[in-house]
């Protein structure tokens, strides 16, 4: 199986009449018999079949190790999705075990401090607690920081923004040495899917401005302004409908997958295909690619596939 067929095969898979997509067909993308070994510098790592910690370790190893991104004495900010006051089983928020493991690995690399925060949609204290992320981060030695007050946010000019000219960004992002973006792959009523670029809405104060001023354009505008050093897409359990908050555990399927890349566009293209959505149907992906945020042409990228 060549790189073009990996993940891209899903572009031709139609949606089923039922509430979910054909995940068994997507699973074949990770068939170990088709996992042809590759070498060199990888643009994206796609993993399947393991627990979050194991997949992260294998994936980051393929990119040269966590030391490629985190150096001794640095201040690291990890940005999960913690937007919703629901338990981990609902898959509305990033997997807490994954976040805890990333925190530990950053400290293993010599980080001076690892902080975790999100500008939540529901009450921030409930989100932090009931997502399981607050306790997981603290047990890993990290620090959870609030994002609920405008006083934490500072004006930033959005260079070359078409609709979004400025935004208020959380001070932790502005002060960090390393910014690690860890979204959960899930459905979204406004954008079909939410992955790496949309997760950046959790580092700004006024999200309403984005929704009122062409959401897709604003997502792409801001993606030029602030690029994470590393993007880790949590697709262990995936909310397939009723996103972004979900209604019940019936909205969730288990995929045991993960995508890791420094390129938000590549990660979002791969994530959309893994989810079962044609990336061309998600306008912000195309706009961001045109603005030079990242690469949309997965067939030309060096992609490492790992099946645990």
Q: Is 177 domain-assigned?
A: yes
Please tell me the pTM assigned to this model: 0.89
Q: Is 142 domain-assigned?
A: yes
Q: Is 240 domain-assigned?
A: yes
What is the structure's pLDDT at 281?
94
Whole-angstrom CA distances from 278 to 175, 206, 225, 236 are 36, 29, 25, 20
Q: Which residues contact 95 (CB under 8 A, 6 or more apart)?
A: 52, 88, 184, 234, 236, 237
Nearest CA-CA partner of 120 in 110, 130, 112: 130
Structure tokens at 248: 């019940």
Structure tokens at 86: 């629901």
What percent of the chain lies above the pLDDT cut of 90?
81
Dump pLDDT digits (tens) for 22-56.
Answer: 333 444 444 443 444 466 689 999 999 999 999 99
Q: Is 6 domain-assigned?
A: no
Whether the Cβ atoms of residue 116 and residue 78 lie closer than 8 Å to each other: yes
Q: Is 144 domain-assigned?
A: yes
Dump pLDDT digits (tens) for 104-141.
Answer: 999 999 999 999 999 999 999 999 999 999 999 999 99
Span of 93-97, 177-181, 276-280 with lowest mean pLDDT? 276-280
> How many other CB atoms are there within 10 angstroms of residue 297's CB atom?
12
Structure tokens at 35: 């996992």
What is the structure's pLDDT at 217?
97
What is the structure's pLDDT at 243?
84
Residues in the chain: 308
Q: Is 218 domain-assigned?
A: yes
Pairing mode of beta strands 192-194, 75-80: unpaired
Whole-angstrom CA distances from 194 to 58, 93, 123, 190, 216 are 24, 11, 20, 9, 11
Question: Percent helix, strand, coil in the chain (nearest 5)?
Answer: 40, 20, 40
pLDDT-based confidence at 2, cuts 50/70/90? very low
Q: Is 246 domain-assigned?
A: yes
Q: Is 72 domain-assigned?
A: yes
Domain that holds residue 70: 20-30+38-307
What is the structure's pLDDT at 39?
64
Domain count, the chain: 1
What is the structure's pLDDT at 201?
96
What is the average pLDDT score of the chain?
89
pLDDT-based confidence at 226, cuts 50/70/90? confident
Whether the Cβ atoms of residue 160 and residue 224 lie closer than 8 Å to each other: yes
CATH number at residue 299: 3.40.50.11440
Whether the Cβ atoms of residue 9 and residue 29 lie closer than 8 Å to each other: yes
């Amino acid at each position: 199986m060549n790189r073009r067929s990996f993940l891209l095969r899903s572009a031709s898979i139609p949606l089923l009449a039922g509430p979910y997509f054909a995940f068994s067909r997507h699973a074949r993308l990770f068939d170990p018999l088709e996992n042809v070994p590759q070498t060199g510098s990888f643009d994206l790592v796609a993993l399947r079949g393991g627990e979050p910690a194991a997949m992260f370790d294998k994936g980051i190893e393929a990119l040269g190790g966590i030391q490629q991104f985190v150096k001794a004495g640095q201040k690291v900010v990890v940005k999960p999705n913690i937007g919703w006051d629901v338990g981990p089983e609902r898959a509305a928020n990033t997997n807490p075990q994954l976040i805890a493991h990333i925190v530990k690995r950053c400290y293993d690399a010599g980080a001076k401090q690892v902080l975790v925060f999100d500008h939540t949609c529901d009450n921030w204290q409930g989100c932090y607690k009931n997502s399981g992320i607050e306790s997981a981060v603290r047990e890993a030695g990290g620090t959870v920081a609030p994002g609920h007050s405008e006083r934490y946010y500072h004006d930033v000019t959005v260079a070359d923004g078409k609709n979004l000219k400025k935004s208020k960004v959380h001070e932790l992002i502005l002060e960090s040495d390393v910014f690690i973006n860890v979204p959960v792959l899930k459905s979204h009523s406004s954008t079909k899917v939410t992955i790496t670029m949309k997760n950046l809405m959790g580092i700004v104060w006024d999200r309403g401005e984005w929704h009122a001023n062409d959401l897709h354009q604003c997502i792409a505008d801001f993606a030029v302004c602030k690029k994470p050093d590393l993007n880790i897409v949590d697709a262990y359990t995936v909310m397939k409908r009723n996103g972004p908050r979900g209604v019940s555990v019936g909205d969730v399927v288990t995929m045991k997958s993960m995508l890791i890349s420094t390129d938000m566009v590549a990660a979002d293209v791969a994530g959309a295909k893994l989810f079962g959505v044609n990336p061309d149907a998600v306008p912000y992906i195309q706009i961001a690619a045109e603005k030079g945020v990242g690469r949309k042409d997965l067939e030309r990228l060096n992609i490492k596939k790992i099946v645990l």
